Each structure stands twice: as C-alpha cells, then as structure tokens.
C-alpha cells in the first residue's frame, strides 16, 4: 500500500469510491464532465413519479448485496426487490435463511435475482458440499419470485400491473465458485430483455451509471433499446445511489465522454475530440432543463437507475442508510 493510500488520498482498490485525487490523476476531463452531468440531472429531477390520474401508486422497496445480513426496519411497500448477493459463500442453507427472511416480510410481492456470490443457483458453481449432500433451496411455497432470465407480471388493485424481468449475469470477477459470470466481450444481453419490461432487475450495473467504471457496456446498449422505467442492480457496493436517465442526446454525449480512455493529468486536458461531446453534454442539458421548466416539470420522460447495495462500501458491514423506495 502506497503512502497516498495510507493517508486516504487514493483508494485501496477498484471497488472503493475514487478520491478526488484519483479522479484528477486519472482523468480531470472526465471528472469535470461527470460533475456537470450530475448537476444537470439534479436540475431535471426524477422522471419517475406516481400516477396523476387518480390511480393508486405502486410502492417498490429495493435491496441488494445483503451478504447473509438481515436488514432491519425494511420500509413497507407493495413490492420488495432483492438484486442479488443474498449471501457470502452461496451455500444452499445460507440462501435459504435469506429467502425465509424475505418471505417473512409483509410486502405483497417479493422478487429476487441471484448474485455472483449466490453459488447454489448456478449448477456450474455449486459448492461441493451442496452437490454431495444434494442440498436444495425451497422456493416453491415461499412466495418469493426467483427470476433468472425470466419475467413475471404482477397485478395490483385498480387494475394496475408491472412486468418485472430479472437476470443474474455479471462480467467475470472471480473464480469458479462465482455464479453466472461471462467474459465481457461475450455478454448475453443483446435482444435478451423483453420490450414490455417495466422494471429490470440485474445483479450487475450498466456501464457509466452507478458502477465506478465496472459496469457492462453490453447491458447499457440493451437498456437503451428497451428503456425500462426502473432498472435496479447492486454488485458495486461503493456506487450505491439513485440516478435518473433520460435516453437523450445529453446522456448519449455523457456516456461517450466517459467511455474514452483515461489519459492522465497532462494529456487529458489537451484539446481532443472528447471536448465536443463535453460541450454537447452542457448544451443539450441546458436545452432540456429549459424545456422542462417551460413544461412546468412535465417535459421529460425517462427512467430511474438504482444501485440498491446494502453494504457500506467494502467494509463488509451493512450501511445505516435506509433502503431505497419509489412510487410508480
């Protein structure tokens, strides 16, 4: 560990939140554009709101990356979604304890995808003790919907319904005991997600959104095609948060800037083609903000991305922050 890391000026690993010094030394240009983009998103607000036509809202509660822990005081709601990594070791018994806990909660519907740590769900990564002992996870009578490249349609009072699609796949990040891994260049996402998906649940994040640069560009391309109203994920604990997306030229320009190779403190600030995209982020963002205000907050349609990780960064402890919730 270097001196700057010991002093807290640089992060210890790629799974930690970058420090300001990390960002400046890696790419001051991208650090600046990121902050401009976040200010634009803040001014534009959340595009996912409760219905205005008198229909009852649907409240969704989001969890992820509980890693064998029990989250206390889970908010009430109509739907509870867990985006994977219920456990650390992925043994059937550990998963069953988490399923039993989720089943005990009062939400009308519970939806789960597994994470890379939940080894039992992937036959190719199951622990030897589970295989030899023929261990099973009992889901049938739990009331928990387990989704693995599968959709479920949930019906609510007032004739409302939600189509939720879930998939556990993540870019390779560990050994053979990690579940549902793929090589980045051979991602499974192209044309995978149904067009009528309202809520997408994946364990891993898309590239450039609440991902610390660790997300999948193939997944990002797929959600550009489908544009679900809500996309919830986890996996990258330190990137926990909520972020609106608007599927417009501002977002496209931002993602183009962030996809550029980081060139360091000196080369990064020299004139380059990325400056054009940076100007587009600002111009398109200002136009969108003005349009939103002209339309009195009704001008933009978009989605919300949620990294619902329940861990406090890489500490191995649960965060003290409340789980995210939305009304849709």
Q: What is the pLDDT of residue 299?
A: 52
Mean pLDDT of 296-314: 86
pLDDT of 127:
94
pLDDT digits (tens, 9 = 90+) for 110-148: 999 999 999 999 999 999 999 999 999 999 889 999 999
Does 274 reside within a domain?
A: no
Residue 70: give the domain boundaries: 45-247+302-327
Cα 221–chain centre separation: 15
State the Cα–Cα distance between residues 66 and 234, nearest whole angstrom: 10
Q: Is residue 263 pLDDT above 90, yes or no? A: no
Query: What is residue 6's predicted lDDT score, i.e. its pLDDT?
Result: 87
Is residue 12 one of the residues assigned to a domain?
no
Q: Is 14 domain-assigned?
A: no
Asked whether residue 257 is assigned to any structural domain, the reply reads no
Q: 140-179 pLDDT, tens per residue?
A: 889 999 999 999 999 998 889 999 999 999 999 999 999 9
pTM attached to this predicted model: 0.94
pLDDT surpasses 70 at 300: no
State the pLDDT at residue 59.
97
Residue 23 lies in a domain: no
Mean pLDDT score, 39-68: 93
Task: Give the per-residue SS3 of the chain.
Answer: CCHHHHCCCCCCCCCCCCCHHHHHHHCHHHHHHHHHHHHHHHHHCCCCCCCCCCCCCCEEEEEECCCCCCCCCCCCCCEEEECCCCCCCCCHHHHHHHHHHHHHCCCCEEEECCCCCCHHHCCCCCCHHHHHCCCCCCCCCCCEEECCCEEEEEECHHHCEEEEEEECCEECCCCCCCCCEECHHHCCCCCCCCCCCCEEEECCCECCCCCCCCCEHHHHHHHHHHCCCEEEECCCHHHCEEEEECCCHHHHHHHHHHCCCCCHHHHCCCCCCHHHHHHHHHHHHHHHHHHHHHCCCCCCCCEEEEECECECCCCCCECCCCCEEEEC
pLDDT at position 2 over 90: no
| Residue 99 in domain | yes
CATH number for 126: 3.60.21.10
- Identify the pLDDT of residue 292: 78
Q: Which tens digit of pLDDT belongs to each residue from 172-210?
A: 999 999 999 999 999 999 999 999 999 999 999 999 999
pLDDT score of 39? 97
| 259 in a structural domain | no
Mean pLDDT of the chain: 94
Q: Does residue 193 lie in a domain region?
A: yes
Tally of domains in the chain: 1
Share of the chain above pLDDT 70, in %: 98
**Stretch 277-303: mean pLDDT:** 83
Q: What's the chain's Rg over C-alpha atoms?
A: 20
**What is the model's pLDDT at position 4?**
86
């Amino acid at each position: 560990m270097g001196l700057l890391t010991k002093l807290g000026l640089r992060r210890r690993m790629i799974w930690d939140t970058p420090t300001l010094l990390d960002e400046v030394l890696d790419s001051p240009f991208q650090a600046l554009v990121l902050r401009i983009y976040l200010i634009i998103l803040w001014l534009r607000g959340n595009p996912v709101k409760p219905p205005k036509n008198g229909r009852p809202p649907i409240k969704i509660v989001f969890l992820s990356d509980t890693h064998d822990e029990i989250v206390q005081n889970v908010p009430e709601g109509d739907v509870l979604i867990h985006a994977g990594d219920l456990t650390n070791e992925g043994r059937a018994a550990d998963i069953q304890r988490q399923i039993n806990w989720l089943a005990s909660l009062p939400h009308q519907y519970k939806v789960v995808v597994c994470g890379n740590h939940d080894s039992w769900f992937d036959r190719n990564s199951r622990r030897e003790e589970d295989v030899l002992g023929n261990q099973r996870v009992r889901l049938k009578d739990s009331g928990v919907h387990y989704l693995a490249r599968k959709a479920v349609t949930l019906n609510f009072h007032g004739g409302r319904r939600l189509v939720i699609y879930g998939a556990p796949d993540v870019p390779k990040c560990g050994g053979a005991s990690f579940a549902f891994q793929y090589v980045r260049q051979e991602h499974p996402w192209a044309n995978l997600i149904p067009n009528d998906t309202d809520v997408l649940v994946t364990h891993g994040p898309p590239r450039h959104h609440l991902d610390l640069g660790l997300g999948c560009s193939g997944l990002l391309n797929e959600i550009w095609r489908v544009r679900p109203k809500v996309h919830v994920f986890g996996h990258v604990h330190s990137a926990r948060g909520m972020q609106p997306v608007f599927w417009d030229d501002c977002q496209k320009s931002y993602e183009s800037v962030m996809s550029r190779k980081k060139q360091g403190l000196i080369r990064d600030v020299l004139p380059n083609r990325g400056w054009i995209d940076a100007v587009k982020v600002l111009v398109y963002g200002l136009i969108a903000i003005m349009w939103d205000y002209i339309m009195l907050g009704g001008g933009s349609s978009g989605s919300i991305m949620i990294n619902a990780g329940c861990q406090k960064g890489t500490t191995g402890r649960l965060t003290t922050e409340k789980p995210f919730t939305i009304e849709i």
